[in-house]
Structure formats: structure tokens, C-alpha cells
A and B are shown apart, each in its own frame.
Chain A
């Protein structure tokens, strides 16, 4: 509170005390038999001492009330009236500024109000440049007080992202002198240029937040998943936290965990009961002052049966091998039936290739020619597979060493679109894959023209191929704020925010989520999940500030942040308490005002 307002407040308090003394309720009337003894007593005691007693009581009450008022208002008398000049006001709008203080208002609200007061204190002659550490608002250039206040009132703290002190070198030079004022809680540890005057809105508080949330396959059983939630505690006392995971397919799961002081803890959940899709983790902790890190999203893969069509004129070995995979529901079509059937998750073309590319991923055996994929050319008799990519998901745990081929077609490699998975001794591609939707795996020979179908690795190859072809694009995690996905013209829809406006950028799409959310991105037949979270230990640790609470630093040539304002308000409170005790002891009155 500035000096003027504080003085006004103090005068009001003093006037109220004096008024209450003068307007005390009339004394209670008591009828007694005789006042003879009282008159004798008062004759000895009354007189000058009684009047002194009244004045001293009033003085004590005034000092007590003023001490309390000063402790509450905390006027800063050390701030001189400044000459008009250009002031650069930088307000920290980082995520930790959302932390609630003990008075129920956030650090950011304190910072914004202080900045507005600072504008008023500097008078109408000064010019202001207002900006923030999240690059959300800026006056653009030096403006008058009214415009600066309007910009400040439109400022809001971010719910994620890394704050950064704005670059001020491009601002126009000022003839009247320039002062940089930075209002922050100090958690971001940002420093302005030399001479920056800093105001702290920091206050120690309790906070527990989710610092990580992921869904991962169990080490013992890759087909089963578990949710992992990491918790961070910023307080210096242990925190008892209730963690909940909610999703589709079953009731939410709840766990209670205790997180040590200024430490981390973790909770795991078995998530098989959920059907898949977005999982939301949330926590509840007593005294928690920061809400933006109390929730997070993750993606649980769907575990469903794939509809696969085998398009062939007849291939019992291939059909039998595909039916061995329990994840597949196989339909066998002739090439003539292919056009009439649709709605499959994947196709297996056996010595047949449609003229138009299918909408779903496909595994192609011995294509005559795939105009929409690549060109194929006949090879000589009995080509030998000599090299293959064993680390590619399609050929994982698959050996082609013993495969004997009667005849095959070699693919022409198309750089950037196709990957060669296996080559013959001459270096020509025998198995290729296109890692672009819809995915394609092309094998240059038919199962009937080789002994591949009788190899033990053939069902493994088919299973790997189906898995790779039908797998969704791996889910992506992103921080709150601007998110870039590597798909052009993508459409984005989020669980909480609904449909999101997007912006095309080279090679991808950009969209912004201001808070934790779960977005689904669709483009070019590809669907990708993006979990946008505020899971950052640096945000959860809201007490990691080097600044003392509520102080103003004195700008020094070295840019140090020495504290100028003395913290005398606790002494005032103690003084008021001592005086109240003295007043009570000496006057034996419980109510002094």
C-alpha cells in the first residue's frame, strides 16, 4: 500500500478510536444504599490521576490501533516521488504465478495490482512499456499511464511453458532516463538488465503437483499396461495426496500416497480395466495452492480385433498362417470381390494389386506392378536374400536366411518414400515398406513361389507386418501452450477445449492449448493423440524462489537485489500485543476501545 493511502487509512483508524472513546456508551446505572464509602474512596483517589488515566488509556488505544493498522497496510515510506521518465514494467506471467497466496489472491493478481499502483505512483508525466515473461501482451512502445493500465488489466498468467525475460534492446532510446521494473515471484529465476528494480510477490505455500503421467507396458507382459504418476511436493512438510485416474470403461481408480517434504513420490495403477483412449489423472491435497499441476492426461492404446481382408485367388498356406494370429479377424476375398468390400483395417494382397491405392494399410505379395507405390521388375531365377533389417518392426525376430525363392520381382527404391527391408545378393530390393499413411509392406515374391510360408518365422513376419501396418501413430506428449504436429492441414479436437483452431506451418500444423488437455489430431488418414500437460517439476516447486516475500529491491550498479524495505510489521504486531497486555494489566479492562 502506498504512503498516501496508508496515511489516510491510519487517520481513519485514529479517528475511529477517538470517536469510540468519546462516544462510549453511558455507564450502567446502579442504585446503592449509600455512596458514603465510595465518596471517601474517590476523594483520596480522584482528581488529577483520574484525568491522566483517561488520557493515558486513550493514548494506549491509539498506539495499539495505529500499530495494527501499520502492520496491515505496510506502507513503504522509502519510495521517493520520482521524476517523470520511461518505465519498463515486466510482469512475470509464468505458471507459478497462478499460486494462491494466504489472502486468497494469486501471486499474479498481487503482481498486476502492484504494477498498476506503480504506474499511478509515477504520475501522469511518465511513459510506460508493459510486457510479460510469457510474451502474451505488450504495449509495443512507450505509452501513457492509462493505456499501460489497460494492457495490464488484460494480462493473465500462463498455465504452462517457460517464462523468459523479454529482450528490450529494440526499444527506442529514452532521453528522460529509463527504469526497468520486474514484478515476479522469483521462481523463474529471471534477471533483467543491470539496474532492474525487482518487486517480489513471493510467499511460501504448500503445493503438490503431478510432475509426470504416462501409460506404459508392463515389463513382464508387454500386452498389459499400467499408469505411472509421479508427484512432487514443494512444501517443507510431508503431504498426503489422493490420486485418481479416470477413463472410459470402468470406475475411476484412487490411490492415497504420502510425498516427503520437498521431494517426489510415485503411484502406479493397473489400467487394463479401461477400454483405451484418454486417461486423466488428478490429485487432491490439503492446502494445495496451485491447481494447474493437479491434473494430467495420457493415452492408453486400444486393444481391439483387427478386420483384415485377404485378397487372393487361392492361397491356403497364407490363409492358414493369417488365421493363427488371434488379433485378426480374417475375411478371404477374390480379386473380383475386392472392389465391393470395404471397411477393413488392413488388406493382404496375394499376387494382386488394385489399380487405386486402398484406404487402409496393405501387405502385398509379388505385385506385378504397383503404380501407386513403386515399380517392380522381374529378377532372375532363385534370387537369394542376403541382407535384411532385423531391427525394423516388420522383420523383428524374423530370419530370411533359409528362405528359398523360385522367382521374385525387385522394387525400385524411391528415396524418401520407401524403406528397403531386404535385398537380394545383387542389392535389389525384395521387401520394401512405406512409412506413410496408409502404410504398405511389399514383398517381391509370393508365398507359393518360395518356402517362406513353411518357415517358422513366417507367422512372426505376418504378425509383425499387421502390427506395424495397423499401429496408430505413437501418442505425443507436449507442454501447455503452442503444439506442433508433423501433419499438414490437420484437424484438432481436444477433450476439454473442443475443436481447436489450427495454423499451417511448413511440414506440419500448429495449435495452442492454454491448459492441460488431451487432443486428437487427424490428417491424411492418420490419427495421432497428443497429451498436453503441465507436468513440470519446475512449475510444481513454487517455493524455489531466491527472493524474500513481498520486497522491493534497490537497483544497484551490479544489478543486485538487495532488500530495501525493512520487515518491521512483525515488530508492530508484537508492540500492539505488548501494549494490549499492559493496558489490560494496568486497567483491568478487557475492551479498550
Chain B
């Protein structure tokens, strides 16, 4: 009997089953999977030619070239490999706010993508981070690992501040195989996102950034005189919410989102602004498809 989860209902899981993850570049992997690998081998997809050397599999010789050029040329095929998927979920205190809640929305994104990856026999790692790495579910593969993933996500609570740079440095290093990084956060980090992106670029991961925002963060509705209290730092900010100030806020928030999107585009990553009041199914089935994450 499968353990019950509150993150998804059965109908939603069934609708995701026919989707698959796809990457647009070959990735390195140790295990066979349905994803293209940079290794040439016994796959079906042609990769290149090279001169035949002793010991090569004669089944891959191109006999047409030999008849024309009188040279033994070997056809190389890409070997299909499994895809390491890194699910990085922001669990900072700021994720615990917003209406509808950002944290639940983000956990649903992570859970859905993890589910799809596990169904596709990919190796999935889930990393909860805030001002550093908070907790990690190490690489799992196979659909039986779906429920441990869900339980891991359900056990998380938002707390502490946000330091994406520290979290990435704590997560990635030489031991991490290149793969697909799903980064889910509100990116309310004092440090510039571009700096973190530059650091992550060296590992040549495929990155999809989900920018989770609540409607009241994009269009705040505040009383005239208000004291804003920061959930992460506890800092209080007294202001008079005039229409001019609200307009300036909206412009600054749009600029903030645009900066993150531009940084992603520069690195060749995918960026998705995920509003928590948008239907989750639409986001998963349409937005990911449009971004090239789903096929």
C-alpha cells in the first residue's frame, strides 16, 4: 500500500505520467538512461566518425566509405545515460509568506519534477537550502523513490535567511556529475543572483530557475501607514504607502525579476516566473513545455 501524500492527488499524478523530462544537451552519466550521453557507445543516435583501430567493434564500420575511399572508418553512436537531476528548494523564511503560500507552491513544483524524473529512471537529488544547505535527500533512482522524496519535502519548514551563493557552493563541487538543476526560489537574496550564476556556470549544468512569487508581492495592498517586518531578518520598515511609492515598488520588483531572467538567459538557462495564484496544472503542463523542460 502506497503511503498517502498531501502534495498531489492521484488525478494530478496520472496527468504527469505521460510527460517526460528532456535536456537539450548531452549530459554525463554513469547509469543507462533514456538521456543522450557524451559517451559514444551502443546507442542508436549517430555521433561522429573516427578511424578504425584494433579492438573496435567491427559492427560499426562504415562499409560504404571503405568501398569509396578504401579506408576503415568507424561510426560512433551516443551512448544513452541516466540524467542526474538536482532539485534545489529554497526553504528560507521568506518562502513561508505570501497568499497563496509560496512554500507549498514551490514544494509542489519540486515534487512534480522529482516525480517525473524518477518515473524516467533518472537519478534525483533533493537539496533544501536557505542561508546554506539545510538538508539533502541523496541521489535516488526509480519510481519507488517517489514517496521518500515526498516525505522529505513534507518534512521541510521555511526558516532562516537566504544565501543562494552559499547554498550553491555547499551543494556543487567536483563530485557532482553534470546534470539538470531545478532551482526553485523567490530569489529575495541581498546578493546579486548573477554572481551565483557565474559560479554555477563552471559546472556546465543545465539549470531551470523557477521564480516563485505571490500576488501580494507583485501587487502589494497596504494601509496608509504601515510598518513592514522582514520575516528573515526581523527588521522593521515604517513607510507611508502612497500611490507613488507603490508604483516605485512595482517597478523595482519588475526590475528584480528581469535581472534574474536576464542572468538566466545569459547562461543559457531556462527561467520561469511562477505566480502562486496561477493554476498549478497549467504551470506544469504548459509553462514547462513552452520552456522546453517538458516535451
Contacts and interface: CB of A to CB of B under 8 A. Distances in A.
A41 B248 contact: yes
B186 interface: yes
B231 A32 contact: yes
A35 B190 CA distance: 10
B138 to A, nearest CB: 29
A341 interface: no
Given A39-B237, A44-B248, A31 B243 contact: no
Interface string A48-72: 0000010000000000000000000
Interface stretch (B6-14, B105-113, B202-210, B221-229): B221-229
Interface residues of B, dominant DSSP: mixed
A458 B211 CA distance: 125
A34 B232 contact: yes
Interface residues of A, dominant DSSP: mixed
Contacts, number: 93
Interface stretch (B40-48, B92-100, B267-275): B92-100
Interface string A243-277: 00000000000000000000000000000000000
A38 B249 contact: yes
B288 interface: no
B97 A31 contact: yes
A304 interface: no
A30 B228 contact: yes
Contacts of A169: none
B252 A41 contact: yes
B277 interface: no
Contacts of A42: 237, 239
A41 B245 contact: yes
B255 to A, nearest CB: 9
Given A32-B229, A588-B242, A37 B224 contact: no
A33 interface: yes
Contact of A588 (B94, B243, B253): B243
Given A28-B223, A41-B249, A33 B97 contact: yes
Contacts of B228: 30-32, 35, 38
B227 A30 contact: yes
A35 B93 CA distance: 12
A23 to B, nearest CB: 13
Interface string B223-262: 1111111111101111110111100110011001000000
A41 B240 CA distance: 12
A32 B227 contact: no
A24 interface: yes
A27 B225 contact: yes
A45 B245 contact: yes
Contact of B239 (A26, A34, A38, A588): A38
Contact of B226 (A30, A37, A587): A30
B227 to A, nearest CB: 5
Nearest to A591: B224
B229 A30 contact: yes
A35 B225 contact: no
B93 A33 contact: yes
B247 to A, nearest CB: 10
A27 B227 contact: yes
A34 B252 contact: no
Counting chain B CB atoms within 10 Å of each CB, the highest count among A31, A34, A35, A38 belongs to A34
A32 B230 contact: yes
A37 B229 contact: no
Nearest to B158: A33
Counting chain B CB atoms within 10 Å of each CB, the highest count among A25, A33, A38, A41 belongs to A33
**Which range contains the number of A residues in contact with the other chain?**
20 to 34
Nearest to A31: B229
Contacts of A31: 97, 228-229, 231
Contacts of B225: 24-28
Nearest to B161: A34
A29 B234 CA distance: 12
A41 to B, nearest CB: 5
A218 B195 CA distance: 111
Contacts of B230: 32-35
Contact of B242 (A24, A25, A26, A587): A587
B245 A33 contact: no
Contacts of A38: 228, 237, 239, 249
A29 B253 contact: no
A82 interface: no
Interface in B85-103: 93-98, 102
Contacts of A30: 222-223, 226-229
A589 interface: yes
Contacts of A37: 188, 217, 249, 252-253, 256
A36 B248 contact: no
A34 B217 CA distance: 9
A27 B226 contact: yes
Given A38-B239, A42-B239, A33 B226 contact: no
A587 B242 CA distance: 6
A40 interface: yes
Contacts of B186: 33-34
A26 B214 CA distance: 27
Contacts of B224: 589, 591
Contacts of A34: 94, 162, 186, 188, 230-232
B239 to A, nearest CB: 6
A547 B96 CA distance: 74
A39 B239 CA distance: 10
Contacts of A40: 252, 256
B248 to A, nearest CB: 5
A33 B102 contact: yes
B153 to A, nearest CB: 19
Contact of B188 (A25, A36, A41): A36
Nearest to A32: B228
B97 A28 contact: no
A149 B227 CA distance: 59
A25 B98 CA distance: 26
Nearest to A39: B237
A53 B244 CA distance: 13
A160 B222 CA distance: 66
Interface of A: 24-42, 44-45, 53, 587-589, 591
26 contacts: A27-B223, A27-B227, A27-B238, A29-B236, A31-B228, A32-B217, A32-B229, A32-B231, A33-B97, A33-B214, A33-B230, A34-B94, A34-B186, A34-B231, A35-B229, A35-B233, A35-B235, A35-B237, A36-B189, A37-B249, A38-B239, A41-B248, A41-B252, A587-B242, A588-B242, A588-B244
- Pairs of residues from A and B, 4 with the lowest C-beta to C-beta distance, nearest first: A33-B94, A33-B97, A27-B225, A34-B188
Given A31-B97, A33-B97, A35-B233, 14 more contacts: A27-B226, A27-B227, A33-B96, A33-B214, A33-B230, A33-B231, A34-B186, A35-B229, A36-B188, A37-B188, A38-B228, A38-B239, A40-B256, A589-B242
